[in-house]
Amino acid sequence: MMNDRWHQELQSIASDYVIGVDECGNGSIAGPIVVCAVGARKDWYLPGLNDSKKLSAKKREAMVKELDEQANAFNIEYAIVQRSHKVIDQIGIWLALLECYQEAIGRVMAVLEANNKTHFTVILDGEGQRWSPDRPNAVAKSIPKADGFVPTVMAASILAKVCRDTQMTSLHQIYPNYHWNKNKGYLTTEHRAALEKFGASPLHRQSFEPIKSMVKE
């Protein structure tokens, strides 16, 4: 069933199509940043959608399969974009995020436009405006907690998280000391202890603390 809050938000959306965007890995100290954009009719909904953080790993993976089926049936279009830890260190996390947002949204928009879908509302999770439209047929709308009730944003949240979690779990096989299979690169107590014992790996973000201070020493 469509969330009541989303049903209310729909009243203020004039375009027929929405593109929901979300990210994963912003606060991690290792690995890439991943952004996903999902485009669909504004009344599109898939049972089981939720904020990715509120779903179990098994449920998220099952939802990815369902979302791929939706994409294969042309009910949705999605794009996943990422920037590596090296790019993040070179240009900064916010510019890396902006590049990801622009690329992911642009790729989805291009496919929809090729199929004669010409007007869009781009919905961003949160209060900050991380993307501004550069064309007259698109408007941006920032909605706090959108990843908990806007269908396309929830879908983007799940797709981005599963993509990044899968990568970090694989990278754990190369650098098992940091337990990325569990913490996905975020600074847990266990992760910090590993840093103190083994130092930073080549995949840690040197522009993030505590890696930044460790590199200076």
According to DSSP, residue 139 is labeled: E
In a domain, residue 193? The reply is no
Strand order, beta sheet including 76-83: 76-83, 33-41, 17-24, 120-125, 138-143
| CA contacts within 13 A on the Cβ side of 205 | 26
Q: What percent of the chain has pLDDT over 70?
A: 97
In a domain, residue 162? The reply is yes
**What are the structure tokens assigned to 129, written together?**
């405006």
In a domain, residue 42? The reply is yes
Q: Which pLDDT belongs to residue 128? A: 66
CB 193 within 8 Å of CB 177:
no
pLDDT digits (tens, 9 = 90+) for 72-114: 999 999 999 999 999 999 999 999 999 999 999 999 999 999 9
pTM of the model: 0.95
Q: Which pLDDT belongs to residue 136? A: 77
In a domain, residue 196? The reply is no
Regions of the chain where pLDDT drops below 70: 1-2, 128-130, 216-217
In a domain, residue 214? The reply is no
Domain containing 24 equals 4-170
In a domain, residue 60? The reply is yes
In a domain, residue 199? The reply is no
CATH number for 22: 3.30.420.10
Structural domain total, the chain: 1
According to DSSP, residue 175 is labeled: S
In a domain, residue 155? The reply is yes
pLDDT digits (tens, 9 = 90+) for 151-168: 999 999 999 999 999 999
